[in-house]
Chain A
Amino acid sequence: MIATLIVVPILAAVLLLLLPRRAEGTAKWIGVAISFLAFFATIGLAGAPDESVRWLQRPFTANFHVGLGHGLSYWIVLLLTLSTGCALMATNVPRRRDFVAQMLFLLGAMAGVFLARDLVLFALFWDLMLIPVFFILLGWGPERSNSAWRYLLYNVTGGVALLLAVAAYGVLEGSTDLIGASLGHGASVVGNGWGLWIFAGFAFAFAIKTPVWPFHTWMPATYVDLPAPAVAVVSAVQSKAGLYGFIAIVLPLLPEQVQAAAGIMFVLGLVALVYGAVVALVQDDAKSIVAYSSLSHLGLIVLGIFSGNALALGGAAVYVIAHGLFSAGLFLAIDQFETREGSRSLKRLGGLGARNPKLAGGLTIVALAALGLPGLCGFAGEILILTGLYASGNVWPAVIALVPIVLAAAYMLRLFQDVMQGPEVADVPQRPDLTLLELLALAPLVVAIVLLGVNPGPVAGSANVQSAVSLVQGTR
């Protein structure tokens, strides 16, 4: 039954193309219905036993093995289905039938990435999830933009490196059915000359996808060019595929190489953290601000993952979900004022809050979550990661990481102030406040932001998270 979370959205995407072109409203509601059905099905399936069918016997064992557990995979799939449903609910992009088909395909492929318990299957879905985003950039991005190219070339290059790493690991280990398996694997790979190369292949793919500085240059253009529902899902969930890969694959399977490379990853994470925050401070395009703030936030998660500390790792897991929630919320809110005012430029906009109190309220909550206000989800992740960093003796990284967290307040409040407060700009047409539908699209995310902020425990795992494996599978 877990496999239906992958197969049904993909099949639905294909079947949608049989609808008449004009059935835009129907297509949209089919998309919303399938996303929320998948959301509730995921809750129902929590802890369900894994499903596995034999795929390859030679040159190594590979299975069609999917599992949900009740750990990180479970939470990310919940985030994925929820954000897709919310993103599609209020969308009014042109050619909606085709768009919804692409989004459902994306949903299925990404569910595959997080549910796969086999490295080959993981690599398959990894490449598969790139294709719909490329098509969305082509069909719905601005004309004469090369962001589709940059997205595809960067990420597929990572994808082929991942494929080589998977093949090599499989040959050396004899099996690729290893994600979420108990520790103790990898002994044959560690100590082999291939170990470092395999680590490099995985890290390269995951660093591009996350993205980690200096592999991030595809990201701002992609986020700016994607239409709002797509960017909400891509920034909320697809960017987490890389971090999930680090947690679920690299940490358990290549422990020695992780220790050797932790210093490098720390430096890259810190640079991303500071660089993203500083660049976000000076952006004029609201989407760019969120894009660069993502680079900064994800850098903090990289620190948490490579700290070698259970608390920080749990915090990284919380922040993975938290960032997904508030970045999806931010992109949706930005889209809502963009469709009203026809602009995302901070210079051009102003004073929207007076006439759009609901929109202002929604943006306030997601922006506060993004800048780490206690009680909301962003804070829960940050404090766990910072405490963990400090506890594991990484005092200076923890201190440096504090600076961008302060900067986050600056750029998020600047975004809010320039758009919602101040004098109304005369030449911008003022439109009515959020419709019920738009409010409903934002509400589930806001509720989840508060819930996770108040009770991050289930995501972080119990206090004695021993390993990344138990984080992925859940310990119950």
Chain B
Amino acid sequence: MPTLIAPFGNADWLALAPVLVVAVAPLVVLLADLLVPRALRRTSALALTALALIVAGIVSLQGWGHPFSAFGGGFQAGGFTIVFQEVALLGALLSLPLAGRLGRDDQTGGGLALLLWSTCGALLMAGASNLLTIFLGLELLSLALYCLCALAAAPSAREAALKYLILSSTASGFMLYGMALLFGATGSAQLAALATGSGSHVLLALGSGLFLVGFAFKLSLVPFHVWTPDVYEGAPLPITAFMSVVTKAGALAVLARFAYAALPQADAQALLIPIWVIAALSMIGGNVGALAQTDMKRLLAYSGIAQVGYVVAALAGTTPLGLRYAMFYLVAYAFMNLGAFGIVGLLSRDHEEGSRLTAYAGLGHRRPFAAAAMTFFLLALAGLPPTAGFTGKLLILASSVDAGYGWLAGVLIAGTAISIYVYAKIIYAMYARRTGTAPEAQAARRPEPLRWLGVGICAVAVFVMAFYPLAPSDVLPQVK
């Protein structure tokens, strides 16, 4: 008879340390919001949030090279978890410079607290190896995001939040049903039990199918992507940037762990074929969808669909190298996408976000540095050198060919060819000659060192990663 109060040891809490840092920090942020004078509230909230994320990042890195299982198999510490945690923390940290405009002044503290809790969910998902922990992390991530989406003053924000709430909850429903079936098949909520279980084959197939549908929804893979552009467009800019990296990192962690470690060896490849097909559809559908967009946030939403398709394609065949390249591309994607969002942020004015494509016409003549940086990030997203996008695509292609999924490599190539048009369209608008584009008045702009810092970090990372494709070893997921 198992006791209800599990005897957790110190090691268990150690595994959870980065998650705990990010879980407790929002309380500090909220308290500080009450104590600090009004003029300093925004600054203090931003500083405390950034500090919490950096501390969590450092704490998380301490565990490198010491994989172990905590909470009776509910949470795995180790390289795999750390990589995804760092990506999530990075995504949250680099979307902060954009958050200068998160809601009204008195909403900043609360908004950032929610952002931290949402990150906390992603950190939990990175290490979750039990169906319940997975669900806990996912809901923590999502619930905070529903509120954050509604933070903007525009009515479209509330619409986005509601849409996100309803569709995401539906997906959660699918997933829960899948989890129930998986539990029914094996009699355990541990992922390890799935891998070794001898349960009913039909239940296992149905359960994993529904489970994957749920995650395809969260990752906004085609054909479960329709909510993404609307939500991205309606949500405030920093939250869109946050979602495009942190949500995807968390969901990809679960997907990768499930694909690599949680399925019986014999059936794994067959059970996973639908997910590779979905990845192929996303690579094409995301890029085709992006063709017609006239709003930068919608365009980046569709481009993100395709980019995640590339990452999932790297996992095809579930080879160890494939996982490493998926991680490499995910990190590269985080940097180039956040960089692009950073430029969108730089173009934002007080009452409008710089997300209409018309705002980019002639940008190369008005603001050469912003245009050059944007061009660089778009080239990276398109997979052209000298960027991490180029090296990342090469590695993914190699891994697909290596794993025997040549057709997926072919689809990736086709998707990339379509995407060239999408990204070059913006570059074209920025640099095409137009008569009568007067240089923007210099005085109208405030200096924005924080946003430029964020953009600069992204640009350097995207450039350096092209030539130092460090793909860490020791990152295979475990489920024990």
Chain A positions within 8 Å of B, measured between CB atoms, are 17, 55-56, 58-60, 120, 123-125, 127-128, 130-131, 134-135, 138-139, 143, 148-149, 152-153, 156-157, 159-161, 163-164, 166-168, 170-172, 194, 197
Is the beta-carbon distance between A149 and B424 smaller than 8 angstroms? Answer: yes
Closest to A168 in B: B401
Which chain A residues lie closer than 8 Å to B59 at the CB level? none
**Does chain A have a CB within 8 A of B71?**
no
A41–B384 alpha-carbon span in the complex (Å) = 29
Q: Tell me, in angstroms, the Cα distance from A170 to B395 when the chains sit together.
A: 10
CB pair A153–B420 under 8 Å, yes or no, is: yes
Q: Does B398 contact A (CB under 8 A)?
A: yes
Contact B424 A152 (CB under 8 A): yes
With A55-B467, A149-B428 known to touch, is A124 a contact of B420 (CB < 8 Å)?
no
**Which parts of B333-387 form the interface with A (CB within 8 Å)?**
368, 379, 382-386
Residue of A59, A127, A156, A159 near B399 (CB, 8 A) is: A59
A149 to chain B, nearest CB (A): 7
Question: Which of A60, A131, A164, A170 is within 8 Å of B384, CB to CB?
Answer: A131
A130 to B385, CA, bound (A): 10
Q: Which residues of chain B are within 8 angstroms of A171 by Cβ–Cβ distance?
A: 398, 401-402
Question: Do the beta carbons of B397 and A163 come within 8 Å of each other?
Answer: yes
Q: In angstroms, how far is the closest chain A Cβ from the Cβ of B296?
A: 20
Q: Could you tell me the distance between the alpha carbons of A55 and B468 in the complex, rounded to whole angstroms?
A: 7
Q: How many A-B residue pairs have CB under 8 A?
A: 90
The 8 closest A-B pairs by CB, nearest first: A167-B397, A167-B398, A59-B398, A124-B385, A157-B417, A156-B420, A168-B401, A171-B401
Asked if B383 and A124 sit within 8 Å, CB to CB, the answer is no
A131 touches B379 (CB 8 A): yes
Asked if B305 CB lies within 8 Å of chain A CBs, one says no
CB neighbors of A among B460-478 (8 A): 467, 469, 471
Residue of A143, A149, A163, A194 near B394 (CB, 8 A) is A163
Whole-angstrom distance between the Cβ of A15 and the nearest chain B Cβ: 14
Tell me if B116 counts as interface (CB < 8 A to partner A). no
Is B428 within 8 A of A148, CB to CB? yes
B65 at the interface (CB under 8 A from A): no
Return 17 A-B CB contacts under 8 Å, by A number. A17-B368, A55-B467, A58-B471, A59-B399, A123-B394, A138-B428, A138-B433, A149-B428, A153-B417, A153-B420, A153-B424, A164-B410, A164-B412, A166-B394, A167-B394, A168-B398, A168-B401
Least CB distance from B459 to A in Å reads 13
Contact B385 A168 (CB under 8 A): no
Specify which chain A residues have a CB less than 8 angstroms from the CB of B452 in the assembled complex. Answer: none
Question: Given A55-B467, A138-B432, do A194 and B384 touch, yes or no (CB 8 Å)?
Answer: no
- Between A138, A139, A148, the greatest number of chain B beta carbons within 10 A of the residue's beta carbon is seen for A138
Is there a chain A Cβ closer than 8 Å to B393's Cβ? Answer: yes
- Of the listed residues A130, A139, A153, A167, the one surrounded by the most CB atoms of chain B closer than 10 A to its CB is A167
**Does any Cβ of A come within 8 Å of B68's Cβ?**
no
Q: Which of B102-129 contact A (CB under 8 A)?
A: none
- The reply to whether the CB of B274 lies closer than 8 angstroms to some CB of chain A is no
Q: Which of A59, A60, A170 has the most CB of B within 10 A?
A: A59
CB distance from A440 to the nearest CB of B (A): 31
**B233-256 interface bits toward A, Cβ cutoff 8 Å, 1 = contact, 0 = none:** 000000000000000000000000
Q: Check: B413 CB closer than 8 A to any chain A CB.
A: yes
Chain A residues with CB under 8 Å of B432's CB are 138, 143
Is the beta-carbon distance between B321 and A156 smaller than 8 angstroms? no
List, in ascending order, chain A residues with CB within 8 A of B276's CB: none
Q: How far is the CA of A197 from the CA of B393 in the complex (A)?
A: 18
B406 contacts partner chain A, Cβ-Cβ < 8 Å: yes
> Provided the pairs A124-B390, A156-B420, A167-B398 are in contact, do residues A138 and B431 lie with their beta carbons within 8 angstroms?
yes
Q: Are A156 and B384 in contact (CB under 8 A)?
A: yes
Q: Which residues from chain B contact A163 at a C-beta distance below 8 Å?
A: 383, 390, 393-394, 397, 413
Interface of B is mostly: helix
Given A143-B432, A194-B401, 15 further pairs, Cβ under 8 A: A59-B321, A130-B384, A135-B431, A153-B420, A153-B424, A160-B416, A161-B413, A163-B390, A163-B393, A163-B397, A164-B397, A164-B409, A167-B394, A167-B401, A172-B401
Residues of B within 8 A of A58 (CB): 321, 471
> Chain A nearest CB: distance from B411 CB in Å?
11
| A152 and B394 contact, Cβ closer than 8 Å, known pairs A139-B433, A168-B409 | no
- For window 403-449 of B, CB contacts with A under 8 Å fall at 406, 409-410, 412-413, 416-417, 420-421, 424, 427-428, 431-433
Q: Which residue of A lies closest to B393 (CB)?
A: A163
Cα separation A56 to B432 with both chains bound (whole Å)? 38
Closest to B412 in A: A164
- A56-B469, A164-B413 known; A127 vs B394 contact (CB < 8 Å): no
A residues within 8 A CB of B368?
Answer: 17
Q: How far is the CB of A145 from chain B (nearest CB, A)?
A: 10
A131 to B406, CA, bound (A): 28
In the assembled complex, the CB of A227 is this many whole angstroms from the nearest CB of chain B, namely 13
Across the interface, name the chain A residue whose C-beta is closest to B430.
A138
For the complex, give the distance between the alpha carbons of A120 and B391 in Å.
Answer: 9
Chain A residues within an 8 Å CB radius of B398: 59-60, 167-168, 170-171
* Chain A residues with CB under 8 A of B395: 59
Report yes or no: B417 in contact with A134, Cβ–Cβ below 8 A.
no
Given contacts A127-B385, A167-B401, A168-B401, contact A134 B424 (CB under 8 A): yes
Taken together as a complex, chains A and B put the C-alpha atoms of A164 and B421 apart, in Å, by 19
Closest Cβ–Cβ distance, residue A429 to chain B (whole Å): 26
Pick the contact of A139: B397, B401, B416, B431 (CB < 8 A).
Answer: B431
Say whether B383 contacts A160, CB under 8 Å.
yes
In the bound assembly, the distance between CA atoms of A59 and B319 in angstroms comes to: 11
Residues of B near A168 (CB, < 8 A) are: 397-398, 401, 406, 409
A160 CA to B409 CA, complexed, in Å: 11
Q: How far, in whole Å, are A113 and B39 apart by their CA atoms in the complex?
A: 57
How far apart sit A389 and B177, CA to CA, in the bound complex (Å)?
71
**With the chains together, A58 CA to B402 CA distance in Å?**
11
Residues of B65-86 whose CB lies within 8 A of A: none
Q: In the complex, what residue of chain A is closest to B416 when comparing beta carbons?
A: A160
Measured in the bound complex, the distance between the Cα atoms of B433 and A139 in whole Å is: 6
Cα A170 to Cα B398 with chains together (Å): 8
A159 to B379, CA, bound (A): 13
Give the Cβ gap from B437 to chain A, nearest Cβ, in Å: 13
Contacting residues, chain B, for A164 (C-beta < 8 A): 397, 409-410, 412-413
Q: Which of A128, A160, A172 gathers most chain B CB within 10 Å?
A: A160
A160 touches B413 (CB 8 A): yes
| Nearest-neighbor residue (CB-CB) of A128 within chain B | B385
Using CB atoms, name the residue of chain B closest to A130: B384
Q: Given the complex, which residues of A lie within 8 Å of B424, measured CB to CB?
A: 134, 149, 152-153
| Set of chain A residues within 8 Å of B428, measured between Cβ atoms | 138, 148-149
Nearest CB on A from B395, distance (A): 7
Contacts of A143 in B (CB 8 A): 432-433
Min CB distance B109 to A, Å, is 42
> What is the CB-to-nearest-CB distance from B123 to chain A, in angstroms, rounded to a whole number?
29
CA distance in complex: A153, B291 (Å): 14
Residues of B within 8 A of A130 (CB): 384
Q: Bound state CA distance, A124 and B466, in angstroms?
A: 10
| CB-defined contacts of B431 to chain A, threshold 8 Å | 135, 138-139
Taken together as a complex, chains A and B put the C-alpha atoms of A60 and B421 apart, in Å, by 31
Q: Which of A56, A60, A166, A194 gathers most chain B CB within 10 Å? A: A56
Q: Give the Cβ gap from B78 to chain A, nearest Cβ, in Å.
A: 21
How far apart sit A125 and B368, CA to CA, in the bound complex (Å)? 24
Whole-angstrom CA separation of A123 from B421 in the bound complex: 20
In contact, B433 and A153 (Cβ under 8 angstroms): no
Bound CA–CA A124/B379 (angstroms): 13
CB distance from B258 to the nearest CB of A (A): 24
CA distance A247 to B170 in the complex (A): 58
Q: Which residues of B contact A135 (CB under 8 A)?
A: 431
- Of B398, B402, B416, which is in contact with the most chain A CB atoms at under 10 Å from its CB? B398
Q: Are B394 and A120 in contact (CB under 8 A)?
A: yes
